[in-house]
Structures are given as C-alpha cells and as structure tokens.
Amino acid sequence: MMVRAKVLPFLFCLVVVAFGTKESDLKQCKHQCKVLQQIEEYQREKCYEICEKLYHGEKQEKEEEEINSYEGKEEGKNNPYVFNEEHFITGIKTEHGRIRVLPKFSERSKLLKGIENYRFAILEANPKTFVVPNHWDADAVLFVAQGRGTLSLVRKGKRNSFNIGRGDVIKVCAGTTAYLINRDDNEKLLIAKLLRPVSTPGQFEHFFGPGGRENPESFYSAFSSEILEAALNTRKDRLQRLFGQPREGVIIRASEEQIRVMSQHEEGGIWPFRGESKGSVNIYKQRPLQSNQYGQFYQVDDSNYKQLEDLDISLNFANITEGGMLGPIYSSRATKIAVVVEGEGYFEMACPHLASESESESGRRQGSKETETRIGPYQKVHSKLRRGMVLVIPAGHPFVAVASTNQNLQIVGFNVNARNNEIVPLAGRNNVMSQLEREALELGFGLPAREVEQIFQSQQEEFFFQGPGGRQSGRAAA
C-alpha cells in the first residue's frame, strides 16, 4: 500500500520533467510508464493517461502561451510599430457608425517620420445607413475589409456610382465629392483608408456640403448670406430653411426604399473619367503572387489598377492558413502600414533602431561617445496580432507573421513607396542566401559552405511555411 501511494506522485513528477509538446515527448513518456517496475497494471494505465493528458493539455497551453506571451508587450513605449484600438482618435461618431483615425505617425515616434505625411483611418457604418456627401483635402486609397456598400464619386462634372464589397480597392482623388451607403441588412461595412493629404502635410479634413448649421455644419454656411443669395440666386429665407434643418450626424439611417434605389449599380462601375480605368478592383480576383497550403498573397498595384500610378502606393492581402506563417521577408523600399482584418496570431520584426535608441541613451548617461555606424544589436519587436490592430513595417526590416493554430490570419497592407519595391525572402525556396557565392557563405557564416547551403536549402516551401505551432518534431530535414 505504501509503495502504491508513493508511486503515482513519483511517476507524475517523472513524466512532467520529461515533457514538452513534441510527439516524441509523448512516446518517451509512455515508454517510461512501460518500463516502470513495481507498479500494477491499473497504475500503468493511469500513467499512460497522464502522458496523454499532459501532451494535449500542454500543447494547447503552449500555443495559447505563445500568443499570450506577446500580449501587453505592444503597449510598451519602446514599440511604436503597433497600434491598438486605444491609439485611434474617434473623428466622427454617431449611433450608426464612426470614423476612427490614427494620429500622425511622427507623433508616436520619430522613427515613423518617413510616413508622417500619410494618415490611416477606418470607417464603420451600420447596416442600412448613409454617409453624407463630403470631400477631403487628401488623396485616398480605400480597402473594403467587410460588408457591402455602394459608393458614389463626383469628379470632373460626372458622378460614378458603383457597388463595392469585401476585397475591393478604390482610389479616391483629393477633392472628389463622395458618399456611401451600407446596403447590407445585417453586416457592418468596414473600410480601411490610407490618406495622403495634399495641402497641409500629415493633416486632412472632411468638408461637408449638405448639412445644416451643425452636425455636420455645411461649408456653405461659412459664407455671408449676401454671397450665398447672389451665388445661388435665391432669397434669404429659402437659404435659411436649406441650411437650418436639424441634422443627425455624418452617418445616418436611410429608408429601405432609399437604399434600394441607391444600390442599383454594377460592381466596379463604368468609369466616366477620361483615360482612367474602372472605379475599383478586387484584390481577391487577382492571381496570387504566392500560394501554397500555408497561405496566399495577393497584390494590387499600378499594373492591375492604373489609378495607383501617381500615388506610389500598392496593396497586399495575405491570407495565412491556421498554423502557418508568412516570411521571414523584408521589403526593399516600401514601408507597410498593415491592418489585421481577420484572425489572430503574432509577428516578429528585427529593428536596429529601437536597440540603438535604448543603447545610445544609456551610453549618454555613462558619458560614452556615440559611434556613427553601428552594427546591431537588433531589437526583436514583437506583438500579438488581433483583428483591428495596425502594424507599421518599415523598409528593410525583416519580419514574420504567424497565424494562430485555430484560425486563418488575414492582413491587408498599404505599401508606401511601392514603385520598384521588391520582397526579399530570407527563408524557403529562392531565399536570398541561396544566391550568395560559396566563398561568401563560408566567410559570412564562418562555417563550411556545404553546411550553410544544406540549411538554407532544407525548406522546400516558398514565402508561406508551416508555423512553429503546427510543426512536429522529426519534421525538419536539417
């Protein structure tokens, strides 16, 4: 009896010590149960059970841990590349929707100075609502992340109305009068916007024509009444009535009938503006640049949407399969402003700036001189990724994005400085190291070239790989 009582806790300790999340650990655990002497058969069964429980429990826990270990870290002052809900300013809000805007990037950190002339916003409109006509002093690229709407754009004396849906990319030139409906009965319409202000760098405004004295105020109301009377050739009392109506905000409810009439348009629309292509292009309908079982990668740039030409912006959409990962890669010229549209996971990025910042600070404190060129150390910038989060990935910065093991991770990225940008793969088929001369590898790594080559050639996939959560022991070839 004494022996029995002692055996179980002992065996529990034994198997726990040996435990990881690999399948080989499970085997080893069971093996230990098998070779244990002085225990009875029912205890042996119990031992197997503990092994199974630990394996499955730990595996799940480890995955959760992996994601959760990044939780909270993004809040740190030393990670200016990640933006959460609380970093947004609510520009416009009604009970039917809101427009949230990120502050100027350079306000967050001087490391983001390169994109300080760009602003990022997200529009949310409830089902069956109308966003009142307005124009912005900014060129904009819109991405429909969710829902179905109809967008109307008035420019060069013509109106183009077209239906939009998930995956559509639309360029809206500065000064275009735009209005929008959410024509869906149930789903919210979500539109991510990258704006490039044209008059005041880094700042843009919405100008509302229709409107009243307030909420929104009409820009017509700013003019003297005699000016408006003369310009519109109308009596004062009629103008007072026109701009004196109580308004209920920028995003308002529309009737079934109004929605029905305004929804009668085609996808993409007929584009009446001379020399320009269609109003929108759908990113999912493009041929993926990369595709395998671990994910797909799509791009819209000036080759498949000519209107992006003068903006030097492109868009990417990455669908990373659950348990998969994208990269490591880096962009040669483009800085990516990305938003998570679906799923969960995490990302890691190598950044020499953050490490040098904290180092030079401590250096200054110690009175030591800063050297001009420095190599490393690299700070591992990392964060959990969740729907709605925004990431900035500067040019040249190697990064990787990993999907959780239970849901695909979908990220849309707006690339600034898109022209001649090249995505450089750091692992997998065609990785940059495989282009190096053998002597360069030998000298660079301090190892025989053959050994280095073997490692860089062991990953057969390209761009998307099985992530660490999905990998099992014994899979790696080298």
Contact stretch for Cu ion (CB under 5 A) within 287-295, 352-360, 400-408, 448-456: 352-360
CA dist 242 and 282 (Å) reads 39
Contact stretch for Cu ion (CB under 5 A) within 90-98, 102-110, 114-122, 353-361: 353-361
Do residues 180 and 211 touch, judged by C-beta distance below 8 A? no
Binding mask 303-342 for Cu ion (x = CB under 5 A): ----------------------------------------
CB of 467 to Cu ion, least distance (A): 24
- Tell me: does residue 108 bind Cu ion (CB under 5 A): no
**Residue number, 374 or 438, with CB nearest to Cu ion:** 374
CB of 195 to Cu ion, least distance (A): 24
Buried b (16+ CB within 10 A) or exposed e, 149-181: bbbbbbbeeeebbbbbbbbbbbbbbbebbbbbb
CB of 391 to Cu ion, least distance (A): 13
**Residue number, 33 or 351, with CB nearest to Cu ion:** 351
Do residues 280 and 169 touch, judged by C-beta distance below 8 A? yes
- Residue 142 pairs in a beta bridge with 170, 193
CA angle 406, 411, 414 (to 5 degrees): 175
CB of 359 to Cu ion, least distance (A): 13
Task: Show the tokens assigned to 71.
Answer: 């939780």
- Tell me: does residue 351 bind Cu ion (CB under 5 A): yes
CB of 112 to Cu ion, least distance (A): 10
Contact stretch for Cu ion (CB under 5 A) within 102-110, 269-277, 347-355, 453-461: 347-355
Per CB under 5 A, the list member of 253, 306, 333, 353 interacting with Cu ion is: 353
Closest CA to 210 of 167, 254, 242, 253: 242
- Tell me: does residue 92 bind Cu ion (CB under 5 A): no
**Residue number, 4 or 380, with CB nearest to Cu ion:** 380
CB of 435 to Cu ion, least distance (A): 25
**Residue number, 213 or 353, with CB nearest to Cu ion:** 353
**Residue number, 112 or 281, with CB nearest to Cu ion:** 112
**Residue number, 111 or 423, with CB nearest to Cu ion:** 111
CA dist 257 and 120 (Å) reads 33
CB of 352 to Cu ion, least distance (A): 6
Residues found near Cu ion in the complex (CB under 5 A) = 351, 353
